[in-house]
């Protein structure tokens, strides 16, 4: 859409004046319009990566990495604080242990996600199998969901919510690079 109005305006300039003479510089006007349109497309495309680096704007991968690092640091700080609280707190020991278990699981999950390359070698041989199995699981879930709806076991609202979740999971699966 960029420049379409400018190009339309330049092309709408008549070929000749009412006197019958050629419109002066019409071809130059159209040429310059094309040049401006191309320049406004090419210059930002070339300079945008440089500008993003200068401003410190990161792409999604770097942001996710930073987020994982931050979440790991936060969870580890909580675990450290929980160890301190166990020694000197009047809080329930069971509550502290349950919270520690929760954050320990979170740290393990974040660490596993933080170094996906190590797990990638293990999964590499089975990626197609995993994708096929996941597709089969989603298909089974969808069939069961439809059966529950047909038998009026669930309300339409629940059906649509769960169907949407299945749709999102299928979309995620299709967009995965294997």
Residue range 67-101, pLDDT digits in tens: 778 888 888 898 888 888 888 877 888 888 888 99
- Asked whether residue 41 carries a pLDDT value surpassing 70, the answer given is yes
Say how far apart CA 115 and CA 67 lie, in whole Å.
Answer: 13
- Output Rg (C-alpha) for the chain, integer angstroms: 30
pLDDT value of position 115: 67
What integer pLDDT is reported at residue 62 of this predicted model? Answer: 63
Model pLDDT, residue 125? 58
Tokens of 103: 């954050």
pLDDT(178) > 60: no
By C-alpha distance, which of 95, 93, 100, 109 is closest to 77?
100
pLDDT score at 28: 95
If you count them, how many residues does the chain have? 178
The predicted-structure confidence for 96-110, as pLDDT tens digits, reads as follows: 888 899 889 888 888
Tell me which of 22-36, 42-56, 101-115 is least confident. 101-115
Q: Closest by alpha carbon to 37, among 75, 9, 58, 56?
A: 9
The three-state secondary structure class of 178 is coil
Identify the sign of the CA torsion 46, 48, 52, 57: negative
- How confident is the model over 134-170, as pLDDT tens digits? 888 888 988 998 988 898 888 888 889 889 999 988 8
């Amino acid at each position: 859409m960029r420049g379409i109005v400018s190009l339309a305006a330049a092309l709408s300039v008549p070929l000749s004046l009412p006197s019958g003479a050629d419109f002066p510089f019409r071809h130059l006007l159209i040429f310059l319009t094309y040049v401006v349109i191309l320049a406004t497309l090419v210059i930002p495309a070339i300079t945008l990566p440089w500008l993003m680096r200068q401003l410190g704007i990161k792409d999604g991968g770097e942001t996710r990495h930073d987020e994982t690092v931050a979440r790991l640091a936060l969870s580890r700080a909580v675990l450290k604080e929980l160890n301190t609280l166990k020694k000197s707190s009047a809080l329930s020991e069971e509550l502290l242990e349950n919270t520690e278990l929760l954050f320990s699981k979170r740290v393990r999950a974040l660490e596993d996600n933080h170094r996906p390359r190590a797990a990638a070698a293990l999964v590499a041989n089975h990626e197609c199998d995993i994708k096929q199995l996941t597709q089969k699981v989603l298909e089974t879930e969808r069939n069961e969901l439809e059966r529950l709806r047909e038998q009026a076991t669930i309300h339409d609202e629940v059906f649509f919510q769960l169907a949407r979740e299945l749709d999102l999971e299928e979309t995620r699966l299709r967009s995965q690079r294997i």
